[in-house]
Structure 1
Amino acid sequence: MHPHHSTDHDSPPLTRIRWVILGLLFAISVVTYIDRVNISVTARQMMPALGLTDQQMGFVFSAFVIGYALFQIPGGWLGDRWGARIILTLALLWWSVFTAWTAMAPASPLAGWLGIMGALALARFLLGVGEAVALPNFNRVVTDWLPAGERGLGIGIAIGGIGVGAAITPPVTAWIMVNFGWQTAFYLSAVLGLGLAVIWWFIARNHPLDHPWVANRTANQNTGTATTTGQASSPAIPWAALRKTPTVWWLVLSYSCLGYVAYVYMSWFYLYLVNVRGFDILRGGVFASAPFLAILIFCPIGGWVTDRMAARHGLTAGRRQTGMAGMLLAGAAIGLGAWLDSPYLAIASLSLGAGWLYFSVGAYWSSTSDLSRTHAGSLSGLMNMGANIGGAISPTVTPWIAEQWGWPLSLGTAALIAIIGGLLWLWIDPEKGLAQEKS
């Protein structure tokens, strides 16, 4: 018997409230990417105002990703141990504070001690520490609230908020920056996060049967239906099992490739349009939203597709076919866009590349739940740490390659990395489960 079959009877009861919870995750996802992407737009004013070079700004970008990568596993473990309701609330409060602090850091005493670049880097590092909690806990929530056949769609919807947050951020932040100064963009996004923390705390619960809006929760509890997340049964991170499960490490490596490519869009795409393709600040902001609109559309579609493919062909084939197709098509579209002369055709091709990249996301994240429902938070945190190791390299390496050999080769490198990530799916087999949990 395959391990995922052994846990099917623990699937949560179907409730309409699960769509409300998914909607809240979508909203949190929007805010995380507003807080993450706004600095790539405000950099246009920040760099000359604060005397920072491209390489120095790349270091500031990377500081966020380093904090984000380092705290993925602890963030996922906290959700497995204590539940996503309290952990996501605290994380929202934390990262909202450090979003606001990004605006204050250059004029703070820290700038006198660490320099402006050092103060900004510290603020962004601590912002990354807070946001590291988000996606692993999204996966914890999806695992606890949705049955196995909906988890690809569920995580696709939740992470699809990236598309909205990152799409609206360039034009809105550019408009705020031009009219009210770059600092205001950070203060406003911090207020959004604080408000959402309050809403999440009052509406969310760790499991459907804990929710007061679920009318039949008492009856289900009396019949012995599972009511808790993985934290009750085994909160420890299963390091021994991880070492014996090659699929986990192929997932991490493949998702690292996705992370490298994703951060090219998060960090440099707006500045690429303005500085390389010749768009002005406001038009560049509008066109910089195109890849993220593609993400909004492709991410939930990819999640739905991987669920359907898994139901039809089995977990391994369903996840592998979706994940590989998304990554390979992303590489092809980015490679084409890198060399097109027309800026508009280049934007279209590069935007499709971002869409296909996130088409594969549902396959990655649902694979961690397939491997172990109990440790879904910790496993997805480990996988996402890999993505952000790739992402920590990307913001600094991308402009360096462009400076040495030009932007076509820099973007072409990202395309090649996407293709490698797709080919690594040949070794990913979520159907086997974690080594210690095989039945």
Structure 2
Amino acid sequence: MYMEKKPTKVRFLILLMLFVAVAITYLDRANLSVAGTAIQKQLKINSTQLGVLFSAFTWSYVIVQIPVGMILDKIGARFLYGGAMVLWGFFTFIMAFSSQGLFAGIGASFMVLIVCRILIGIAEGPAFPSNTKIAALWFPSNERARAISIYSSAQYIGLAVFTPILAMMVAKISWESVFYLSGGIAIVFGIIWLAVYRDPKDSKSINQEELDYLKNNGAYNPNEIGEKKEDKISLDEILYVIKQRRVWGIFITQFAIASTLYFFMTWFIVYLQKGLKLPIQKAGFMAILPYMMAMAGVLFGGFLSDYLLKKTSLTVARKIPIVAGLLFTSILCLANFFEKTPIVAVIILSIAFFANAASNLGWVALSDVLPKSMIGRVGGVLNLCGNLSGIVSPIIFGVLHQKTGNFHLAMDYTSAVAVVGALAFLFIVDKVEPVDLSKKFHVSENVKVVK
């Protein structure tokens, strides 16, 4: 008797790997926040210089987004992502040596930290374009928002788990130990990624039934993602897509979402120490609540969007969590009124971070409107726009803190940007639906958009 074979569940192993990779990515971005005050004290740098150091990662990270997208489309996520992890882990590890030996003797410690952060920014460039490409390959349309929400939540879980540990290491050992640990973790997992990860077409673990399930439900399909040599996208087609108002609206919204995220990845622990007057160990412990709330928020946003998709249109399902989330993010500035009661301020920040994380569906919206063959290239542009805030915000925080002695105006700025992002997604993004290239170009079946 013929027994129908059940599809394998290899995509859930891929989801686990993405989860770990994202946690490590954000650990190596945010570790400097935990060590920031100690570094500032030891190297005798002012708040503006600390803001520049926080910002340095993003200088190079933004620049490499577009070329990284093109490279990703050519060589794939296995070697690019795995190799990148090993590299950024190595440069993170090197940061620990900046205060020692020759560098300290010639007063070059600050410049060594700047250079290392720039190199880490280059190495981390492939991270989120790779995540998006992998999600499009491995997860059908009805699972993708949840999958992206789950692995995106890892950035917050990783920070919630590791921030108290790193804060304890700063207090009990040294700030250098933070970089030894986080750099070593990235190197080890990068090697594991290279050994284990495969695209669906190359995986020896997936069976034909799961492949068919993916292809029939808007995920991996060799006729859509450029496996055939004739699947080429012209520069004119890419520029046409980028010029669409719905794409630009997503870009502006991503900038707003990332502005709040960069506050929590750079100045947040310093804010707890200097703005709320908490010692480093207590600051590390208090940081758990905002990060865990953000984790809950990103899961809530993804599951809410998928639930709404069953009840209403794709446009409404994406707009409700993104617009409402950004509007609630703007309450962050209310923490200015509760600096003398740190627990209330942290609760306000936690609610704002929950809402911000719930709105973090820019990558989902972009994958909804793009042909899959363009995700690497145009996804790089989205990452570029979102992370421009990582250049601007840390420096603004540093300058305003140095000039005013507090964070009030900086918090007001972040809230205002969140409101702008909500308005952009509400009014500039007309419909969340695939850009129709056939209106301007002759599009072959191999690059046709899946609706």
Q: Is the 8 A contact 1:14 1:146 kept in 2?
A: no
Residue matched to 1:102: 95
Query: Does 2:45 match 1:52?
Result: yes
Q: Is the 8 A contact 1:371 1:430 kept in 2?
A: no
What is the rounded CA distance, in whole Å, between the counterparts of 2:105 and 2:65 in structure 1? 31
Offset of 1:99 from its aligned partner?
0.7
Offset of 1:425 from its aligned partner?
0.7
Name which of 195, 205, 212 aligns with 2:204. 212
Name which of 315, 321, 334 aligns with 1:336. 334
Structure 2 vs 1, CA of residues 110 and 215 (structure 1 numbering), >3 Å: closer, same or farther? Answer: same
Residue matched to 2:3: none
Residue matched to 2:81: 88
Query: How do residues 252-267 of structure 1 correspond to structure 2 at under 5 angstroms?
Result: 252-267=251-266
Offset of 1:393 from its aligned partner?
0.6
Q: Deviations over 1:193-240 (max 9, x none)?
A: 111112222221112x4321113369859x998347724333666432
Query: How do residues 344-363 of structure 1 correspond to structure 2 at under 5 angstroms?
Result: 344-362=343-361
What is the rounded CA distance, in whole Å, between the counterparts of 2:130 and 2:101 in structure 1? 33
Residue matched to 2:307: 308
Structure 2: tracts of 5 or more residues without a match: 1-5, 440-447
Residue matched to 2:369: 371
Offset of 1:158 from its aligned partner?
1.3
What is the rounded CA distance, in whole Å, between the counterparts of 1:343 and 1:218 in structure 2? 51
Q: Is the 8 A contact 1:80 1:230 kept in 2?
A: no
Residue matched to 2:425: 425
CA RMSD of aligned residues (A): 2.6
SS at match of 1:230: coil
Q: Deviations over 1:380-418 (max 9, x none)?
A: 221121111012111110132244453233212211111
What is the rounded CA distance, in whole Å, between the counterparts of 2:326 and 2:105 in structure 1? 45
Q: Is the 8 A contact 2:8 2:210 kept in 1?
A: no
Q: Is the 8 A contact 1:210 1:227 kept in 2?
A: no
Residue matched to 2:442: none
Partner amino acid, structure 1, of 2:81: L
What is the rounded CA distance, in whole Å, between the counterparts of 1:69 and 1:226 in structure 2? 30
Offset of 1:15 from its aligned partner?
4.3
Which range moved further: 72-81 or 174-183?
Answer: 72-81
Partner amino acid, structure 2, of 1:322: P
Query: How do residues 159-174 of structure 1 correspond to structure 2 at under 5 angstroms?
Result: 159-174=152-167
Which range moved further: 98-107 or 136-145?
Answer: 98-107
Partner amino acid, structure 1, of 2:269: Y
Query: Does 2:142 match 1:149?
Result: yes
Q: TM-score, normalised by structure 2?
A: 0.87
Q: Is the 8 A contact 1:77 1:235 kept in 2?
A: no
Offset of 1:168 from its aligned partner?
2.4
Partner amino acid, structure 1, of 2:206: V
Q: Identity, % of aligned pairs?
A: 25
Structure 2 vs 1, CA of residues 368 and 51 (structure 1 numbering), >3 Å: closer, same or farther? Answer: same
Partner amino acid, structure 2, of 1:436: L
Offset of 1:178 from its aligned partner?
2.3
SS at match of 1:63: helix
Structure 2 vs 1, CA of residues 368 and 169 (structure 1 numbering), >3 Å: closer, same or farther? Answer: same
Query: Does 2:9 match 1:16?
Result: yes
Which range moved further: 402-411 or 284-293?
Answer: 402-411
Q: Deviations over 1:271-297 (max 9, x none)?
A: 111112111110011112322111211
Q: Is the 8 A contact 2:257 2:359 kept in 1?
A: no
What is the rounded CA distance, in whole Å, between the counterparts of 2:261 and 2:22 in structure 1? 15
Q: Is the 8 A contact 1:60 1:121 kept in 2?
A: yes
Q: Is the 8 A contact 1:136 1:380 kept in 2?
A: yes
Q: TM-score, normalised by structure 1?
A: 0.89
SS at match of 1:375: helix
Query: Does 2:313 match 1:320?
Result: no
Q: Deviations over 1:90-136 (max 9, x none)?
A: 11111111111211234476778993322211110110111121111
What is the rounded CA distance, in whole Å, between the counterparts of 1:437 and 1:84 in structure 2? 29
Residue matched to 1:175: 168
Residue matched to 1:132: 125
Residue matched to 1:294: 293
What is the rounded CA distance, in whole Å, between the counterparts of 1:108 and 1:229 in structure 2? 54
Q: Is the 8 A contact 1:370 1:430 kept in 2?
A: no
Partner amino acid, structure 2, of 1:38: N
Structure 2 vs 1, CA of residues 135 and 243 (structure 1 numbering), >3 Å: closer, same or farther? Answer: closer
Which range moved further: 301-310 or 60-69?
Answer: 301-310
Q: Is the 8 A contact 1:171 1:282 kept in 2?
A: yes
Structure 1: tracts of 5 or more residues without a match: 1-12
Q: Deviations over 1:301-354 (max 9, x none)?
A: 21121122233222222111121111111113x132232352101101101111
Structure 2 vs 1, CA of residues 409 and 195 (structure 1 numbering), >3 Å: closer, same or farther? Answer: same
What is the rounded CA distance, in whole Å, between the counterparts of 2:373 and 2:148 in structure 1? 17
What is the rounded CA distance, in whole Å, between the counterparts of 2:373 and 2:276 in structure 1? 48
Q: Is the 8 A contact 2:314 2:433 kept in 1?
A: no
Q: Deviations over 1:254-285 (max 9, x none)?
A: 21112222111111111111112111110011
